[in-house]
Structure 1
Amino acid sequence: MGSIESLMDQAPDLLMVYGTRVLLAIVIFIVGRWLAKSVAKGVSKVLVKRQMDQTVVGFVANMVSAVITAFTFIAVLGQLGVQTASLVAVLGAAGLAVGLALQGSLSNFASGVLLVVFRPCKAGDYVEAAGVAGTVEEISIFSTTLVTPDNKRIVAPNSAVMNGVIVNYSAKERRRVDMVVGVSYDADLRQVKEVITDVVTSHELVLKDPEPVIEVLELGASSVDFVVRPWVKTADFWTVRFDLMREIKLRLDQENIGIPYPQMDVHVKALPEQG
């Protein structure tokens, strides 16, 4: 009977202590959740202003929200009297075990973060990466999706993309078209240069600045090789290349300028007659 009366006497003090803790824990939880949403929203706005991909924006915002929420959860448990140090140690050990079991996935995740931070490519870019080439369709947490020119869908692990060489053909506004045109040794080199120059400069998609380079590159085994290097907008690269190759051939034919092909002289020696 006495213990009950003693407990009743201590009830106001216990209610004050634990009630305050519970109230503060609720306040911490509410503030933490608000902070997670606000910071994630702010990060999203900044990334959108920097014209980052929507997939990347969502990825980063979710990561920020998850980290703040985790710290909020630990702070709430600490306020309620839970030994957070022991909890963190247990979670750390569990995380280590999971990490060892999922090394490949964690590597892809880390590479995805690096792709987001350093932005070597973005959705819509045509790239060579992980041994394949195509247009980047999506960069997700664990993989990067490419679409090839013949409309095949390739999903490459982020680690393979980030750990290899990435060639981004869409990163710059202008590209140089490199072509080699071989003509006969009998051709007038000045005339050849004039013809090729006229074809190149007449194309409406060839840029005036920088000026195209048209010069003798090499005296080959069976031809004099001209290098033809006009500059174009990146989006016009293949259109210009196809057009110029066709028009140069047609104009050289009109001017009776030969385009040789490899030839081989075969000498037949008569074998001595056997008696």
Structure 2
Amino acid sequence: MENQPVNLILAARAAFSQAAALVVQYSFSILGAIILLIAGWILSGVVSRWAYKGLSKIHGIDETLARFFESVLHYSILIFVFVAVLAQFGIQTASIVAALGAAGLAIGLALQGTLQNIAAGIMLLVLRPLRVGEHIQTINVEGTIVEIGLFATEMKTADGLYLMAPNSTLWNTAITNHSRQASRRQQLSVAVGNDVDIDMVTQTLLEIVKSDERVRKDPPPRVYSDDLTAEKTVLMIEYWAKTREWAETRHDMIDRLRRGIAAKGVILK
């Protein structure tokens, strides 16, 4: 009984010494973790911004793609910093890295379709088979590009409807871009009876086409016989026009050809 107070004092001293040692040990760990977090946050911001500026200067790299790589780099650095902070407290990070890898694999399998769209979006932004403002056509969709995102591409149809197409559907099919080239060929056909002067009709059609200033001189327009039956001859009219004026030129040309043929007294078949 006489030694009980002494034992309590010794135990208290031992506990205090151990607690003080733990405080000192973890104080340095906490301080190091805070410094590491601050440094990692600053480093991730600097490196990601540097990467974004570098990618933005590369010709053909889209703004969306540059922002995507900036975010990936930023959060990748933060993940490494977080693992390093855990190591400051003596936590075995190998198991954490393995768990993160397994979680990433599980998420990737669960979001397989979404990841396909992201991969397709990156390829569309890098290779640029389509751009904002261009009119495209595939087996499934047709319209004017409004925005190219990482998951889907927004489009506007000819009748003013909103259309969102998953990037994987655009990447895995052939794309016809109606706006990419500066000029585009137009073909119109005219059928006339075999009892008319074909040479006269051909010359009339050619003069009408050449008189339109929107028709390109090179390659020159031409009119030629494309089909022949017992009752009629089909004449093919071929010319090139600027892509942005192609549709308007076609509509005007049809009216001008119809009036020009009628003025010569020729009846179309």
TM-score (ref. length: structure 2)? 0.83
State yes or no: 1:215 paired with 2:224. yes
CA displacement at 1:98 relative to structure 2: 2.1
Alpha-carbon distance in 2 for matches of 1:93, 1:17 = 28
Look up the match of 1:148.
Answer: 157
Supply the AA of the counterpart residue of 1:131: N
> Matches of 1:83 and 1:18 in 2, distance apart?
17
Query: Which residue among 69, 77, 82 is the counterpart of 1:72?
Result: 77
CA RMSD of aligned residues (A): 2.5
2:131 aligns with: 122
Distance 2:93 2:182 in 1: 53
Which of 197, 206, 212 is matched with 1:188 structurally?
197
Check the 8 A contact 2:44/2:75 in 1, yes or no.
no
Secondary structure of 1:230's aligned partner: strand
Equivalence for 2:57: 46
CA gap of 1:159–1:9, structure 2 versus 1, over 3 A, is closer
Per the alignment, residue 32 of structure 1 pairs with: 44
Normalised by the size of structure 1, how large is the TM-score?
0.82
Pairs within 5 Å for 1:6-21: 19-20=31-32
Q: C-alpha displacement at 1:228, in angstroms?
A: 0.9
Question: Does the CA contact (< 8 Å) of 1:197 and 1:214 recur in 2?
Answer: yes
Contact 1:99–1:106 (CA under 8 A) maintained in structure 2: yes
Query: Following TM superposition, by how much is the alpha carbon of 1:22 offset from its aligned partner in structure 2, in angstroms?
Result: 4.8
Mapping 1:1-275, distance limit 5 Å = 1-2=13-14, 4-5=16-17, 19-20=31-32, 22-43=34-55, 45-46=56-57, 50=59, 56-57=62-63, 59-80=64-85, 81=87, 82-220=91-229, 222-260=231-269
> Within 2, Cα distance between the matches of 1:11 and 1:228?
91
2-structure distance, mates of 1:137, 1:162: 17
| Contact 1:125–1:136 (CA under 8 A) maintained in structure 2 | yes
Shift of 1:3: 6.0
- Partner secondary structure for residue 209 of structure 1: coil
Q: CA deviation at 1:29?
A: 3.0
Counterpart CA distance in 1 for 2:27 and 2:222 is 86
Q: Which amino acid aligns with 2:171?
A: M
Kindly provide the amino acid, as one letter, of the partner of residue 48 in structure 2.
A
CA contact (8 A) 2:144 2:156 kept: yes
**Inter-partner Cα distance in structure 1 for 2:43 and 2:72:** 14
CA gap of 1:46–1:220, structure 2 versus 1, over 3 A, is farther
Q: 1:196 to 1:141 in 2, by over 3 A?
A: same
CA deviations on 1:196-229 (whole Å, 9 max, x unpaired) are 0100000111111111121111213532111111
Q: Which letter does structure 1 place at the counterpart of 2:84?
A: Q
Amino acid at match of 2:252: D
Percent of residue pairs identical? 30
SS in 2 for 1:117: helix
Q: How many residues align?
A: 253
How far apart are the structure 2 equivalents of 1:106 and 1:10? 46
Write the distance in 2 (CA, Å) between the matches of 1:42 and 1:32: 15
Amino acid at match of 1:60: L
| Structure 1: tracts of 5 or more residues without a match | 261-275
Whether the aligned pair in 2 keeps the contact of 1:130 and 1:156 (CA below 8 Å) is no
